[in-house]
Structure 1
Amino acid sequence: MQNNHQTTVLDEAQAIAHANHPNPYGFLGLHANDKGYLQINTFLPDAMQVSLLDEKGKVVAKLDKLDDSGFFSKTTRRKKRFSYQLNVKTEQGERIITDPFACSPVLDDLDIYLFNEGKHKKLYQKLGAHCVEHDGVKGVTFAVWAPNASHVAVVGEFNHWDGRLHPMRKRLECGIWEIFIAENSAYSPVTAGGHYKFEVKDSNGNLLALKADPYGVQAQMRPDTSSVISAEVEFDWNDHHWMNSRQLRNDKSSPISIYELHLGSWQRDHNNEFLNYRDIAERLIPYTLDMGFTHIQLMPVSEFPYDGSWGYQPVGLFAPTARFGSAEDFKYFVQACHNAGLGLLIDWVPGHFPIDEHGLAKFDGTCLFEHEDLRKGFHPDWNTLIYNYGRTEVANFLRASAMHWLDTYHVDGIRVDAVASMLYLDYSRNDGEWIPNEYGGNENLEAVAFLKEFNEELYADYPGAFSVAEESTSWPGVSRPTSDGGLGFGYKWNMGWMNDSLAYMKRDPIYRQHHHNELSFGLVYAFDENFVLPLSHDEVVHGKGSILTRMPGDEWQQFANLRAYYGFMWTHPGKKLLFMGCEFGQRAEWNFEQGLDWHLLENDNHHGVQQLIKDLNHLYKSMPALHQLDCEKDGFDWVDHDNAEQSIYSFVRYGRDGTNPVLVVCNFTPTVQHAFRLGTPKAGYHREIFNSDAAIYGGSNVGNPLGAQSNNTPWQGRDDSIEITVPPLATVIFELQG
């Protein structure tokens, strides 16, 4: 008959064998019994024999196998604790292992304090999986936040995905579960490249779907969904010159012209397969430089399960997607951009996350990352879940993910997706489908506080980096400092300009005179924010057609309209963003499943548009008047915005004192205007430096090759004026040389 002590041990062993022991670290390993003697307990289902070794490798005791599940135990004659290992014999042979239940905690007191405060800036260095040396032994630490779980274990190839073998220690102070597994402690080595997930049971002991690591820095290639242990090899960064100079390059007085692209469909290989980050770098960077862009912006590269989401429904906010290679490959890509003189922005998605069962949804059986009330926690537009920004641990998780890209990967900017959906509680909701804030309003005060803190941390800790908001409403002060009551972003996408200008351009020129203010209205608010003018991927999908096919008329007029429009955009106040393919007049809508239609460049019209964008970027960078005061009202002055009858706009752009102004004339009808008189702010010679109707771009070559000399004929409220030829459907730029 078994004694009561052995009955208790066997009861606890059964709890271990069923993965429902409430405190495995309090039972497994070496512990003093009620008489003060050290007792060793271990669960090793494959073992035939287990011996306890002291720090010198001497056998202290041979353990007894107490049941068929693989539980071994032995009470020693020692009372003083000592370092130990286990000698394990199986059918495959004999090995010495480090017992994970003998290892010290992973997180220290400061980690826990900062986590509870929501202020752990380097949380990605502690949670997740990390190859380290711990207690003098090489291995991997695992840590995950699941405060309401009754059981969490790390499972993977190294333990045959058996959740009984590596149950984790719950840190009651914070709800984080942790374990250190030495290289020599598992059934097969725990090393870089190994696949793993977390086995989680809810508070009632119900087993959930296996969860990928929220802090995982590498993941399997879809459709597989496991996290991958990363070697985290120290990368030999040599982009110091760029990092030390980028503050000036990213300043609002500097030229910023952004080439936005989707890595999976810019170009593909001959089998229509993805290119590696390194291969993309070799092709993309020289092309972007040749085109004259200053920055590249990537649609989301955080790991995501479904290609059709384009990355906007991520499950791995800390992991570069495996579609294009490893984390080290991505670092190579970033460094290649910097060493070529290009800045790099990434899209970041803190507004929502998908419902995939291996992701964050009900991570520990409760709505841990999301709101429980669907009126706050569910996005009806995208069938996704909304983060609970008011929960300090969630806000810390999100901020840490953004800073991880700035810190670990040296990216220069974070473009925050769908900010409007974060700011408004009634976003895309009808009455009764949302919950007002504490003051009865529709503002999401928790999201506002989160965005402010995100921006404050970014600008304080990463000099030269900047943030951009995709925000489609009139929320005030999006790009104003938080000290002035703003949200603290560096820039905001000018969605109003984009919508109005495209609406105008798609109209037949005959009718444009009746909608003249669609192009001029943007200047009413052009300096309320630090704007980026975006022609992004959103404008070339979902049946909208390409930018080219939005233009009216026959083929010649379509291209002429497009060239004139780009000329207007590049001379309009605000930084520039253009989606891939638009720079050469891609005719088809963007298709994420194949590369761009590069063969179109064999056509003179498409090649002409490409040359036009090159020249516009060169002018934008080389002419201070076109970029220095992009975000200040002193940099712009209308000459005439009332000429609706002829659909002609004219304005002046200024730089700082001592720079030559430029005069811009845009004609949005196919009618040539001869002897067109225009007031000018500066007497002297006006040199034509750009004409979108030039033959090199595919135009009719009407213009002012000899420039224009002003005379003292007062016109349009100015003392001097010039007389020019205005080409059809064209933008013309003059440099004023007094």
Structure 2
Amino acid sequence: MRIRQDEAHYALPEGVDDLIHGRCADPFSILGRHNMGKVDVIRVLYHDAARVRLVVERPRGSAVERPMRRMGDTGLHIGTIPAGARYHLKIFWADAAEETADPYSFGLLLGDMDLYLFAEGRHHQLDRVMGAQPMTIDGTAGVRFAVWAPNARRVSVIGDFNFWDGKRHPMRLRHAAGIWELFIPGLGVGERYKFEIMARDGRILPQRADPFARFAERPPATASVVASADAFTWHDGEWMGSRAGWQVPEAPISIYELHVPSWRRPGGDPDRDISWRELAQELIPYIHAAGFTHVELMPVMEYPFGGSWGYQPLGLFAPSARHGTPADFAGFVDACHRARIGVILDWVPAHFPNDVHGLISFDGCALYEHQDPREGVHRDWNTHIYNFGRHEVRGFLIASALMWLERFHIDGLRVDAVASMLYRDYSRREGEWIPNIHGGRENLEAVAFLRQLNETIHATIPDAMTIAEESTAWPGVTHPVAQGGLGFSYKWNMGWMHDSLHFIARDPLWRGYHLSEILFGLYYAFSERFILCLSHDEVTHGKGSLLARMPGDQWQRHASLRVYYAFMWAHPGKKLLFMGSEFAQEGEWSHAGEPEWHTLENPLKAGMLGLVSDLNRLYATLPALHARDCEPSGFAWVVGDDTTNTVLAWLRLAPGHAPVLVVLNLTPVIRHDYRVGVPVGGQWRECLNSDATAYGGSGVGNGGHAMATDQAAHGHPYSCVLTLPPLAALYLQPVGEGA
């Protein structure tokens, strides 16, 4: 079809000057297809092209090429085609020719419901909507980009594909939600990209990484990377179908916490990070042998500074490129599940760092954070606090949590620094914080966010866990939201950790005078569903290792740590231990090194690992030790006031199962003929003696069993006379009572 040339078609529209100089807020008003009756005028902007031709696609017959007129030195090329005809572009560069679809020929990309739910903070699949999404539109393959920047004057996609030039691919603003969108044909998985943002006052901001990116360059590089949208291949159906039973309060949950980069340095190279595949090969057999039910990874969401250990993340949707691709990470989780090991991730919604490529003043204004530093800055960490009162920010964070649980089959999230979220005056002096609307110190917006987070997770993935790191006496952290609680599945018991560590670090000579320290945790042990935690925080920042806190000579230090672990595993509450502590590492943990694996040649270290492994085995196989971890009916005192001998004894109980008697001798003195009351007569089997020679102990004990006679003691109708080894714990169970 021959089209009459009309000079009106080639008139430069209003706003061209802003377009060519990168100031245009609405590039689609100029570029792409514009109908003028029987003719569509096509405008494209290619500054460096020698010439551009329109390739008009016809339903029947071959395509027809039509030249476009270059409009002086503007970089604008204009041509005409029959109204409604399909077309693409043939671009002639100085040394090559390229055929591509026109990015500005595509209509609106995000649906109205997506925009509405985003603005409401209730879009739960933002990882499939925002950021870079490989897809095919109208038969054309490419990548759809979407970013939230409501205060920006102009936003462009930049990358290797356009020489990082913000004038080449300006985006379209969807005013209803403040989201900018653009589909760029021909791009695919692996492309590096960022966003160039012009603030409302005309400033070009530092290039921004994509807050919704699902992959990124390996730090210290900071570009986002287009990731595949394909589903991962999974073989963990058996685990996923049964994991609910492995994570309920009645289940034995024993967690091994690790920092992935420093768990193992391949080849001993301090500059090399282990890959997900290498980690699966080495970690899973180790965890299986040690008897832990779950691993907890310190944050693996992409983070710029290694010294933050991941607790200052910027890529809440991207597993760190330090260890491989997202598919590699999914493969690691799959391998853990096939070995019946659950995977928990540390997740950080409390704050974010101020790196210029990140979220801070993202579109020239305080967007993700608060404007006022009295609400929005953690001075302890020099980080910024999310504005939990903003719907879009809450939706951003909740969508991140759901993505890890759904897309990567993660079994639980430990929410970091919850205490800092709950209080407006957290680590602030008078005058450095703003009260809430009622004049109080509680952060009502953060409370509402945490409740929404937990309600959404439990409704969407009911068999997933959420765990709070919360160090205050905030009531109802693990109570249902409907009952006024925050809705978490479990809470770290920080009070138990502080008090018990303080006690066990004392000289055994004086421990009897301070039993209240180790007993106090039982006053509130059932007020929440607790996890007893000996985490990374207890072996760094100058605190030394757990072993370094124990008093006495080398043997006594290891004996004290053994009895402490036995106390922990017999105490109500789930268990968590940080890497290296399972074999009594001597030195303080360093993120730049690795645990002292070579010391396992030492019998005391190997013995400690053997003890932890046996504690995990007993904890899992003896229902009395776990089935009532979160209920008062699972615990009964026998001896709690023997300050003279510094001996403690109690029973762990579970309906329909044999009880377990726990006896601790917290001094290095052997206690002979120590009578302990028990509810059942007959023979009691010694399930565990932490002083066994296999653990590095002295071998003092009761020959593997004790006989309970009908002499009443401690309120029980029977009692047994025991030899209590020095600095040791005994676990005993009646024979023939379901043992």
Q: Does 1:682 align with 2:680?
A: yes
Aligned-pair CA distance for 1:719: 2.1
SS in 1 for 2:170: coil
Which residue number in structure 2 is paired with residue 718 of structure 1?
A: 716
Q: Does 1:474 align with 2:473?
A: yes
Residues 80-99 of structure 1 mapped to structure 2, 5 A cutoff = 80-99=83-102
Indicate conservation of the 8 Å contact 1:259/1:295, yes or no: yes
Residues 317-716 of structure 1 mapped to structure 2, 5 A cutoff = 317-656=316-655, 658-716=656-714
Indicate conservation of the 8 Å contact 1:51/1:59, yes or no: no
TM-score (norm 1): 0.96
Which residue number in structure 2 is paired with residue 219 of structure 1?
A: 216
Aligned-pair CA distance for 1:706: 4.4
Aligned-pair CA distance for 1:722: 1.2
Aligned-pair CA distance for 1:14: 2.4
Which residue number in structure 2 is paired with residue 727 of structure 1?
A: 725
Give the one of 193, 197, 203 matched to 1:196.
193
1:620-639 Cα offsets, whole Å, 9 max, x none, are 00100000000000000111
Cα distance in 2 for partners of 1:584, 1:126 equals 46
1:560-598 Cα offsets, whole Å, 9 max, x none, are 000000000000000000000000011100011122110
Cα distance in 2 for partners of 1:567, 1:119 equals 45
Cα distance in 2 for partners of 1:730, 1:640 equals 16
1:137-191 Cα offsets, whole Å, 9 max, x none, are 11101000000000000000011101111100100111000000111xxxxxx22
Indicate conservation of the 8 Å contact 1:31/1:38, yes or no: yes
Cα distance in 1 for partners of 2:260, 2:466 equals 21
Of 456-465 and 242-251, more deviation after overlay is shown by: 456-465
Give the one of 104, 111, 126 matched to 1:108.
111
Which residue number in structure 1 is paired with residue 254 of structure 2?
A: 257
Whichever residue aligns with residue 213 of structure 2, its letter is G
Cα distance in 2 for partners of 1:471, 1:371 equals 23
Whichever residue aligns with residue 172 of structure 1, its letter is H
Cα distance in 2 for partners of 1:538, 1:116 equals 38
1:203-243 Cα offsets, whole Å, 9 max, x none, are 11110000000000000011100000112343211111100
1:534-571 Cα offsets, whole Å, 9 max, x none, are 00000000000000111000000000000000000000
Give the one of 38, 45, 48 matched to 1:46.
48
1:375-413 Cα offsets, whole Å, 9 max, x none, are 110001100000001100000000000101011100000
Give the one of 55, 65, 69 matched to 2:70.
65
Give the one of 207, 218, 238 matched to 2:204.
207
Indicate conservation of the 8 Å contact 2:40/2:81, yes or no: yes
Whichever residue aligns with residue 44 of structure 1, its letter is Y
Whichever residue aligns with residue 99 of structure 1, its letter is D
Give the one of 227, 230, 245 matched to 1:230.
227
Indicate conservation of the 8 Å contact 1:104/1:135, yes or no: no
SS in 1 for 2:316: strand
* Structure 1 residue ranges, 4+ long, deviating more than 4 angstroms after superposition: 3-8
Indicate conservation of the 8 Å contact 1:314/1:353, yes or no: yes
Whichever residue aligns with residue 539 of structure 1, its letter is E
Cα distance in 2 for partners of 1:708, 1:69 equals 95
Cα RMSD, aligned residues only:
1.5
Give the one of 256, 262, 268 matched to 2:265.
268
Q: Does 1:161 align with 2:160?
A: no
Cα distance in 2 for partners of 1:58, 1:176 equals 36
Whichever residue aligns with residue 141 of structure 2, its letter is K
Cα distance in 1 for partners of 2:191, 2:657 equals 59
Q: Structure 2: any 5+ residue segments left out of the alignment? A: 1-5
Aligned-pair CA distance for 1:729: 0.3
Cα distance in 2 for partners of 1:8, 1:402 equals 51
Cα distance in 2 for partners of 1:602, 1:377 equals 50
Cα distance in 2 for partners of 1:203, 1:6 equals 32
Indicate conservation of the 8 Å contact 2:56/2:81, yes or no: no
Give the one of 151, 158, 182 matched to 1:148.
151
Whichever residue aligns with residue 624 of structure 1, its letter is P
Which residue number in structure 2 is paired with residue 247 of structure 1?
A: 244
Residues 18-33 of structure 1 mapped to structure 2, 5 A cutoff = 18-33=21-36
Of 490-499 and 477-486, more deviation after overlay is shown by: 477-486
Indicate conservation of the 8 Å contact 2:25/2:154, yes or no: yes
SS in 1 for 2:72: coil
Q: Structure 1: any 5+ residue segments left out of the alignment? A: 184-189
Indicate conservation of the 8 Å contact 1:129/1:140, yes or no: yes
Indicate conservation of the 8 Å contact 1:220/1:226, yes or no: yes
Whichever residue aligns with residue 414 of structure 1, its letter is L
Whichever residue aligns with residue 323 of structure 1, its letter is R
Which residue number in structure 2 is paired with residue 132 of structure 1?
A: 135
1:25-56 Cα offsets, whole Å, 9 max, x none, are 111011135x7743221101121111222222
Whichever residue aligns with residue 73 of structure 2, its letter is D
Indicate conservation of the 8 Å contact 1:667/1:730, yes or no: yes
Cα distance in 1 for partners of 2:609, 2:97 equals 67
Cα distance in 1 for partners of 2:422, 2:363 equals 27
Indicate conservation of the 8 Å contact 2:57/2:64, yes or no: no
Whichever residue aligns with residue 107 of structure 1, its letter is L
SS in 2 for 1:620: helix
Aligned-pair CA distance for 1:685: 1.7
SS in 2 for 1:278: helix
Cα distance in 2 for partners of 1:67, 1:378 equals 50
Which residue number in structure 2 is paired with residue 186 of structure 1?
A: none
SS in 2 for 1:516: helix
Aligned-pair CA distance for 1:712: 2.0
Closer, same or farther: CA 659–175 of 1 in aligned 2, 3 Å: same
Whichever residue aligns with residue 210 of structure 1, its letter is Q
Cα distance in 2 for partners of 1:94, 1:501 equals 72
Which residue number in structure 1 is paired with residue 182 of structure 2?
A: 179
Whichever residue aligns with residue 169 of structure 1, its letter is R
Cα distance in 2 for partners of 1:528, 1:4 equals 80
Which residue number in structure 1 is paired with residue 3 of structure 2?
A: none
Closer, same or farther: CA 7–105 of 1 in aligned 2, 3 Å: closer
Indicate conservation of the 8 Å contact 1:257/1:294, yes or no: yes
Indicate conservation of the 8 Å contact 1:10/1:66, yes or no: no
Identity across matched positions, percent: 49
Cα distance in 1 for partners of 2:46, 2:7 equals 24
SS in 2 for 1:54: strand
Aligned-pair CA distance for 1:714: 2.1
Cα distance in 1 for partners of 2:205, 2:38 equals 39
Indicate conservation of the 8 Å contact 2:9/2:41, yes or no: no
Indicate conservation of the 8 Å contact 2:10/2:78, yes or no: no
Whichever residue aligns with residue 362 of structure 2, its letter is F
Cα distance in 2 for partners of 1:106, 1:286 equals 47
SS in 2 for 1:264: helix
TM-score (norm 2): 0.96
Aligned-pair CA distance for 1:5: 7.1
Aligned-pair CA distance for 1:442: 0.8
Indicate conservation of the 8 Å contact 2:42/2:81, yes or no: no
SS in 2 for 1:652: strand
Which residue number in structure 2 is paired with residue 187 of structure 1?
A: none
Of 504-513 and 489-498, more deviation after overlay is shown by: 504-513
Cα distance in 1 for partners of 2:524, 2:66 equals 80
Indicate conservation of the 8 Å contact 2:35/2:41, yes or no: yes
Number of residue pairs the alignment of both structures matches: 726
